[in-house]
């Protein structure tokens, strides 16, 4: 057992982890944050995506021990209480969710994309989401949701000044 301390969805946390325990296991099993999905467990699907210091990573390939001192955001950390994050709202409004298994990863990858590039083209959206597999939607509505989220965030940004 090794103790790791990191910031999880904005709060400082600590956990005892096994050698070889991956971050997805720690998040799901020790913190009960089951929004992060363990799909292929090998880097092939993106369902386990979380934000690590703001960047999307595959938590199935990150050792929990490597979270020490870093900041991790899971899908549970995105909304503001009952108020959905603009990306979550856009996915809901566009009907970009079917079974929902890929959705947390899609939403987090999109969040990172829009932070870096607030006005992505369709090609940029598809490129950014290329590491997130969806077996249900055919991606069209997901791409539309990302566009809608981008528009909403930009409108928000302008209104806020």
Partner 1 sequence: MEAFEYASPHTTESALKLLGGRWGETEILAGGTDLISAMKDRVTTPKRVVNLKKIKGLKRIEYSAHSGLRMGALVTIQDLLDNKVAREHYPALAQAADGIRGEQMRHMGTVGGELLQRPRCWYFRNGYGLLAQYQGKSLVPDGQNRYHAILGNSGPAYFVNASSLAPILIALGGKARLHGPEGEREVELRKFYTTPMKEEDREYVLKPNEILTEILVPPDKGGKMAVYEVREKTALDWPLVAASVVLHLSGGTVRSARVVLGHVAPVPWPVPEAGQALEGKAVTEEIADQAGKAAVSKATPLSQNGYKVRLAHIAVKRAILSAVKGEA
Ligand X SMILES: Cc1cc2nc3c(=O)[nH]c(=O)nc-3n(C[C@H](O)[C@H](O)[C@H](O)COP(=O)(O)OP(=O)(O)OC[C@H]3O[C@@H](n4cnc5c(N)ncnc54)[C@H](O)[C@@H]3O)c2cc1C
Regarding 44 and contact with ligand X (CB under 6 A), the answer is yes
Tell me how crowded residue 100 is: count the other CB atoms within 10 A of its CB.
Answer: 12
Binding region for ligand FES (CB under 6 A) out of 4-12, 32-40, 71-79, 84-92: 32-40
DSSP three-state, residue 80:
strand
From the list partner 1, ligand X, ligand FES, none, pick the one residue 71 interacts with, judged by a Cβ distance below 5 to 8 Å according to partner type: none
How many Å apart are CA 95 and CA 76, to the nearest integer? Answer: 20
Question: Residue 46 or residue 120: which is nearer to ligand FES going by CB?
Answer: 46
User: Which stretch, 72-80, 86-94, 109-117, 147-155, contacts partner 1 (CB under 8 A)?
Assistant: 109-117
Interface with partner 1 includes 124 (CB under 8 A)? no
Positive or negative: CA dihedral 125, 127, 132, 136 = positive
- Rounded CA gap, 55 and 44, in Å? 18
Whether 10 contacts 77, CB under 8 Å: yes
Residues 62-121 that bind ligand FES (CB under 6 A): 97-102
Among 13, 31, 38, 65, contact with partner 1 (rule: CB under 8 A): 65
40 lies in the site for ligand FES, by CB under 6 A: yes
């Amino acid at each position: 057992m090794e103790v790791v301390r990191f910031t999880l969805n904005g709060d400082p946390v600590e956990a005892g982890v096994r050698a070889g325990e991956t971050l997805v296991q720690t998040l799901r099993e020790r913190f009960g944050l089951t929004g992060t999905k363990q799909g292929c467990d090998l880097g092939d699907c993106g369902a386990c995506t979380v934000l690590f210091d703001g960047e999307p990573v595959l938590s199935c390939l990150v050792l929990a021990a490597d979270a020490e001192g870093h900041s991790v955001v899971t899908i549970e950390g995105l909304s503001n209480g009952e108020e959905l994050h603009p990306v979550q709202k856009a996915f809901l409004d566009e009907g970009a969710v079917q079974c929902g298994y890929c959705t947390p990863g899609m939403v987090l990858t999109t969040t990172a994309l829009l932070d870096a590039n607030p006005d992505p083209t369709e090609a940029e959206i598809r490129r950014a989401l290329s590491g997130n597999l969806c077996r249900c939607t055919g991606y069209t509505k997901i791409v539309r949701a990302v566009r809608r989220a981008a528009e909403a965030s930009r409108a928000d940004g302008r209104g806020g000044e």
